[in-house]
Amino acid sequence: MNVLAGDIGGTNIRMGIFAEEGADLRILAEWRFPSRLHGQFAVLTRDFLRQRGIPVGSACFGVAGPVRDGRAVFTNLDWQLDEKDLAAEVDLPRVVLLNDVQALALEAPLLAETDLRTLQRGRPSVEGAAVVVAPGTGLGEAFLTFSGGIFTGHASEGGHADFAPGSPLEADLQAFVRREAGRASVESLCSGPGIARIYRFLRDCGGRREAAPLRERMDRGGDAVPLIVSAAREGDALSRETLEVFADLLAREAGNQALRFLAFGGVYLGGGIAPRILTFLETERFRESFLDKGNFSKLLEQMPLKVILHPAAALRGAARFAFRQR
C-alpha cells in the first residue's frame, strides 16, 4: 500500500504520496505550501488526499523539532502535533512523526552521486556512523548508525548547544548575539537568521560599509538571506564576508559532529542554505575550518564530506520510514 510522507519545516511544508518499487521509491503526487498555514494542516492534508484520489495506508511526517511519545513540539513554530490525534483528523489508520533531519539522514547514504556535491572524498566505511548538519530556518542535526544491514536514524537537538568562538572576531560576535538574544547557541549563527545576524554584526560593530541599494532592499523587510546571497554573488564585500564567516562556523560545527560520532560513513550538509552557497563551501578555507581539530585533523581527513542537493531528500526519508513501520 502507498504511503503519505511529509516534510514539515519552519518555512515550508512538503507532502508526497509514494509507492515502493523494490528498494527504490516512486513519487505519485506531490504538493507544497507555506508553514504559516499550519493551522489548516489537517484540512489541507485531507484535501490533498481527496483531490489526488490515490489510496494511502499510512503516513509519516518529518517535523522541525523533537518528537517524544508520539508528540512533536516545533522549535520555530507555535505548533504541536500528536500522532493519534492527527491520524483521526486526516482519516488514516496510522500516522508516525519523526524529526525532519532524522528523516533526511535516512535518505542521505542512498542518494545518487548526482544528488550530492563532494567536498572531501575521505576513506568511507559502509558500516560507519554518519552525521547530518542542516542549516535552514534553524539548525537541524541528526546521526545514522548501521547494523543488521540497515541504517537507523537518530534525532538530535545539537543545534541548540552553546556556541564557542574560535577567534577574537567570533568572540565579539558571540557577545553581539548575547546582547540581541540573551544566549548564543550554534543555531543562532548557523542558520538563515544567523546569516542575517552575522551581517548586522559586521555592519554595526565591525565597521564594514553597507551598499546603499542593498540597505534599501533590506529596509523593505522580508527574508534577508536571499538578498545577502545574491549580493555576495555580485561581489558585495560585506555580503561576501558574511557568508565566509557563516561558512567557517558551519565547517567547524560539521567537524564537531564528525568527531562526536566518528562519522566514517560520511558528513552530510543538508538544509536549504548549503546548496545555495556552494562557492563558499568548495574552498580550501572551508575544508581547513572543517579539519581544524588539532591532533585529530588527520582523522577527519578520512571522513567523506558532502552537500545534499536533492530538494526532496527529507521527504523521501520520511517515506522510507513509513514503509518500515508497516
Whether residue 104 lies inside any domain: the answer is: no
Number of structural domains the chain divides into: 2
What digits encode the pLDDT tens for the residues 49-81?
999 999 999 999 999 889 999 999 887 778 889
Whether 66 and 151 share a structural domain: no
What digits encode the pLDDT tens for the residues 182-194?
999 999 999 999 9
Whether residue 107 lies inside any domain: the answer is: no
Whether 172 and 42 share a structural domain: no
Q: Measured in Å, how far apart are the chain's first and last C-alpha atoms?
A: 9
pLDDT computed for residue 231 by the predictor: 97
The CATH number covering residue 15 comes to 3.30.420.40
Whether 316 and 200 share a structural domain: no
- H-state helical runs in the chain: 41-52, 83-90, 100-107, 168-181, 192-204, 212-219, 224-233, 237-261, 278-281, 284-291, 297-300, 313-324
pLDDT computed for residue 10 by the predictor: 75
Write down the pTM of the prediction.
0.95
The CATH number covering residue 270 comes to 3.40.367.20
Give me the domain span that covers residue 72: 3-99+312-324
Whether 117 and 72 share a structural domain: no
Q: Which residue has the cell 538574544?
A: 181
What digits encode the pLDDT tens for the residues 108-121?
999 999 999 999 99
pLDDT computed for residue 201 by the predictor: 97
Closest CA to 125 of 107, 158, 151, 100: 151
Name the stretches of the chain with pLDDT < 70.
none
